[in-house]
Amino acid sequence: MALVLATLVGMEFPLAGKADFAGVAPTAARLYVADLVGAAIGALLVSTLLIPLIGVAGVCLAVGGLKLLGAGVVLRSAKR
């Protein structure tokens, strides 16, 4: 399961870079910043709010849903 999740997460970066390409350095910088900010906010939110409210299984389902939603947005914007 870890391999499948790592593969899906790894596929996000090239798709996001292709969808919003503005040169190598600016695109890489935006993706890196988005990754760091998202990780910080996610770690704080999940550990302090979501796990106590909906439990570990609920958090896993919510994150999976958000990942699918994000993939849909990236794929839709890449087609334009």
Rounded Cα distance, 29 and 80, in Å: 23
Per-residue pLDDT reduced to its tens digit, 28-80: 899 899 889 988 998 999 999 999 999 999 988 998 898 888 878 877 876 66
pLDDT of 9 over the 90 cut: no
* 3 state SS of 3: helix
In terms of pTM, does the model score above 0.95?
no
Rounded Cα distance, 20 and 70, in Å: 14
60, 1 Cβ separation under 8 angstroms: no
Domain locations in the chain as residue ranges: 55-80
8 falls in which pLDDT band (50, 70, 90)? Answer: confident
Q: Which tokens in the block code for residue 14?
A: 């090239």
The pLDDT of residue 57: 92
Strands (E) in the chain, as ranges, are none
